[in-house]
Amino acid sequence: MSAKKKNEHEPAQEQEPELNAPTPEEAEAPQPEAEAKEQTAPAPAAEKPQENSERYLRLMAEFDNYKKRSARERENIYTDVRVDTVTKFLPVFDNLERAMKTETADEAFKKGVEMTFNQLMDVFKKLGVEEIESVGKPFDPAVHNAVMHVEDEARGENEIVEEFQKGFRIGDKVIRFSMVKVAN
């Protein structure tokens, strides 16, 4: 009963006719657009599995490229960190190399410097650091920095005759260029 009372107090909702609704005669008449849609409807359904397959293959290719790019970026970051670390130790290398070239009467001191230098070189090797060969090699601007030039008939064209500062690289990446004197 309470439901009846609520309905009595609510205004009756009038049903409005649809504006675009077809009349009964139009509904029965064949419509050319509807026939065309019915004929083309099965075609997209047939293309859909192929379309999904192509989309899946593209997605897999994009994911594979993403994995390769991420691996390259990680490797580059690792190489950059090694380069930064080795760059900070190069002044230590230079000072130890100068200390080894200096004459001293104290053999224990000289032996200690040599051991420290060898230990540093072992650490460089473990990090993948290689010395750039210079003396006697042809000048290569990609790895050498020519700071002097000398005319010497006994030497070949663009031959490196003296190295002032050792150069280093990790793989193909140059950490520090070799400072050299070039002949002819």
The tens digit of pLDDT for each residue in 155-170 reads: 889 999 999 999 999 9
What sign for the dihedral angle of Cα 37, 39, 44, 45?
Answer: positive
The pair of structure tokens assigned to 128 is 């993948």
CA distance linking residue 155 with residue 136, whole number of Å: 9
- The pLDDT value given to residue 184: 86
Alpha-carbon distance 169 to 47, whole Å? 55
| C-alpha count within 13 angstroms, C-beta hemisphere, residue 129 | 25
Looking at residue 129, its pLDDT comes to: 96
Report whether CATH 3.40.1190.20 matches the domain 49-127: no
CA-based angle 79:85:86, to the nearest 5?
Answer: 90
Residues facing 169 on adjacent strands? 130, 174
Rounded Cα gap, residues 112 and 118, in angstroms: 10
Question: What are 154's two structure tokens?
Answer: 């006994």
Residue 51 and residue 140 in contact, taking contact as beta carbons nearer than 8 Å: no
Extract the tokens encoding 26: 């139009």
Domain 131-184 belongs to what topology? Answer: Nucleotide Exchange Factor Grpe; Chain A, domain 2 (2.30.22)
* Cβ within 8 Å of residue 123, ≥6 positions away: 89
Q: Do you know the residue count of the chain?
A: 184
| Regions of the chain short of the pLDDT cut 50 | 1-4, 6, 36
Q: Distance (Å, rounded) from C-alpha 16 to C-alpha 26?
A: 19
Which pLDDT does position 169 carry in this prediction?
96
**Domain locations in the chain as residue ranges:** 49-127, 131-184
**139 DSSP assignment:** P
